[in-house]
Structure 1
Amino acid sequence: MSVTFSAIQPGLRLADQVASALEAEIRAGRLGEGERLPTEAVLVQQFGVSRTVVREAVSRLKSQGLVDSRQGSGMYVRRPGLEPLTFDPVTVASKEAVLQIVEVRRALEAEVAELAAQRRSDADMATIRDALHAIDAAVQAGRDGVDEDVRFHRAIAQAAGNPFLIRTLDYLSQFLQGATRVTRANEARHAPFAADVLREHERLVGAIEAGDPAAARAAAAEHMRGAARRIEQADPMFWQHDGGRLARPLISAGPV
């Protein structure tokens, strides 16, 4: 698979930004296991940085076990290693598991949104807006919009400019994406729910675009509270069918 990178922006350490961009592609599967990383010269040209920066970034990926070197051949992607998380089986009924993960998201997304409002660039806003429009396009095309929703929230995380927050979200993605599948499946059953989500997303984007950290934090937290309310209001038949099926990977703590 061919992946093309954009030049990075001044700000945080350049090597951290390059490493985070490469890591994101690996964890998203766009750079697959066994695939060769672009050459050092290509990465230098695409990111607009020095060879020293690229080498430091790749060294960080190697220390994380995400890539390894083959003599005379280059760097190759390894399968990302994730320690399995476990949940207390007494407390992880389908609904409870989703609500607990929404609570985790509320803490993370509020912080991410506040930082994004402080640090976002015009390019970041264009990416966020494109991701928001992609959700609507997916829904209009009859898809669930889960992947687009995940990309929307990740675009906001990228705008926050903290690679450690991004890595935390990537680490938790197996559960966050599973919970998103449940919440969006529930919302798709009720037109008012879908309309609420759209309003919440627009409010969040507007606050980030306005550079209002407090409003962005509040909008992100309210979006997660809204997701929890909609889960609480889901009808019993939802949990007996789609909801229970989609939440099963969360209960077993397996990958979604």
Structure 2
Amino acid sequence: MSAPFKPITPGAYLSDQVADVMAAKIRAGRLAAGDKLPTEAVLVDQFSVSRTVVREALSRLKSLGLVESRQGSGVFVKEIGFSPLNFDAKSTVSKQAVIQMVEVRRALEAEVAALAAQRRTKVDIKHIHKSIADLEKAVLAGGDGVNEDVQFHRAIADAARNPFLIGTLEYLGQFLRGATRVTRANEARRTDFARQVREEHAVIVKAIEAGDAEAARKVATLHMNNAIARIEHADPAFWQQTGVQLASPLVHGLPA
């Protein structure tokens, strides 16, 4: 029997925190393929969160392919397949791999932003603005803003009203979150980088709010291009601090 989960620290996006803890336990092998997860009620008690939070966390784990529901039996850990990239804190990945993941984001998020501009509602705009406020609050409080940055882009994806795009982003989230952590850590080292990111986010929101799909697509693409440029211009001390290699011919099966 695996050790019980510990309560989650109160804060934003509790379901993400719960999902991340459970995913880490699965990937570390402390919950093996075929193991049955604790019941919903037990998870609620162990994490000290609501049933809604637990259900959202389990939904995310299912979208990542880590667990599966069996009718009348419960939720079980699935066999973990091969992952092309691993951005775990303990893993060493190349600078080129980080850039490649941002390229994946660029391809997806440009279209997501364009669709969001076409389909957004007043409620969507409210959620997007709140996500920006949460990001600013997290940064001012000294945090890295990774979760809030991810939620900002998720709020835009929600406005796109395409469940397949959302599902794809959720699956890739296990890789994109790590890449986002690297890019934001780099951007936090320089005030000009941090200012650029804030300005780029604001322009994206403005285009979506205006309903201008082409402008939204263009500025979302530019945001990702600039993120790549900022990574390419990071000083060597940054890579030494983060443990990310400057170059590597092969990273977990992905050609550099």
Which TM-score tier does this pair reach, normalised by the shorter chain? 0.5 to 0.7
- Aligned mates of 1:80, 1:152 — CA distance in 2: 30
Following superposition, the deviation at residue 85 of structure 1 comes to: 2.8
- Aligned mates of 1:28, 1:156 — CA distance in 2: 22
Which ranges of structure 2 fall in alignment gaps of 5 or more residues?
A: 6-14, 23-35, 42-51, 53-58, 86-91
| Matched residue type, 1:34 | L
**1:29 paired to 2:19:** yes
- Matched with 2:70 is 68
Higher mean displacement: 236-245 or 113-122: 236-245
Following superposition, the deviation at residue 128 of structure 1 comes to: 1.1
TM-score between both structures, scaled by the size of structure 2: 0.68
Higher mean displacement: 170-179 or 25-34: 25-34
| Matched residue type, 1:69 | Q
Which ranges of structure 1 fall in alignment gaps of 5 or more residues?
A: 2-24, 39-45, 47-57
- Matched with 1:147 is 147
Following superposition, the deviation at residue 237 of structure 1 comes to: 1.2
- Aligned mates of 1:184, 1:146 — CA distance in 2: 7
- Matched with 2:28 is none
Following superposition, the deviation at residue 188 of structure 1 comes to: 0.4
1:48-72 CA-to-partner distances (Å, cap 9, x unmatched) read: xxxxxxxxxx9xx79x86322336x
**1:86 paired to 2:84:** yes
5 Å-filtered alignment, 1:213-228, equals 213-228=213-228
- Matched with 2:233 is 233
- Matched with 1:195 is 195
- Aligned mates of 1:27, 1:170 — CA distance in 2: 14
TM-score between both structures, scaled by the size of structure 1: 0.68
- Matched with 1:54 is none
| Matched residue type, 2:19 | G
Q: 1:123 to 1:36 in 2, by over 3 A?
A: farther
1:205-228 CA-to-partner distances (Å, cap 9, x unmatched) read: 111111110011011101101100
Residue identity (%):
50
Following superposition, the deviation at residue 28 of structure 1 comes to: 6.8
| Matched residue type, 1:166 | I
**CA-atom RMSD, angstroms?**
3.4
**1:186 paired to 2:164:** no
Following superposition, the deviation at residue 30 of structure 1 comes to: 8.4
CA contact under 8 A between 1:185 and 1:243: conserved in structure 2?
A: no
- Matched with 1:159 is 159
CA contact under 8 A between 1:26 and 1:80: conserved in structure 2?
A: no
